[in-house]
Amino acid sequence: MFPKVFKVISTNDVKVIVGTRIGRHGEVSATETKPYITWQIVADDPQLQLSGKPCTNFTAIQIDCYHSTDAGIEQLAVAVRAALDAARVANRVVIDARDTETRLYRVGLQADFIGL
C-alpha cells in the first residue's frame, strides 16, 4: 500500500543530480533547490483473494522529475528510469513538458509497484 519509492529511486546516479530532494505527496517546499523529484500514489489495488486478506498490492505511482535545463531533465529522467528498471518496477513516461509558470522542465513517469 505504501511502497518504498524513496528507497528504490535513491540510487547513486539519482543522488548525484538531486541529493535527497525527493518529496512525497507530489510536492516539495516552494524554496527547494532545483532539480528535484516528487512522487505520489495514483492508484492502489489490493490483490484480493477469497481465503483471506490481500496477498499483495498493485500500486501505481507517479514520479515527477523537475530540472531547469532540457539536457538536465533528460539526464535525471534516465537515472530515475534506470533505478526503477534495476528494481524490476515496470514504468513508462506519461508527461514530457515545460511548466508555463516556473519554466522548469518536467518528465513524469508512472511506475507499477507490485508488493514492494
pLDDT at 116 over 80: no
For residue 106, pLDDT beyond 80: yes
Please write the tens of the pLDDT for every residue from 5-17: 999 999 999 999 9
Average pLDDT, the chain: 91
Rounded Cα distance, 102 and 51, in Å: 51
* Element (DSSP H or E) covering residue 40: strand 36-46
Distance of alpha carbon 66 from the chain centroid: 11
- Over residues 77-99, the pLDDT tens digits come to 999 999 999 999 999 999 999 99
Instruction: Give the pLDDT mean for 46-65.
Output: 82
Cell 514504468 -> residue: 91
Please identify, in words, the CATH class of the domain defined by 5-114: alpha beta
pTM for the whole thing? 0.89
Residue 23 CA from chain centroid, whole number: 9
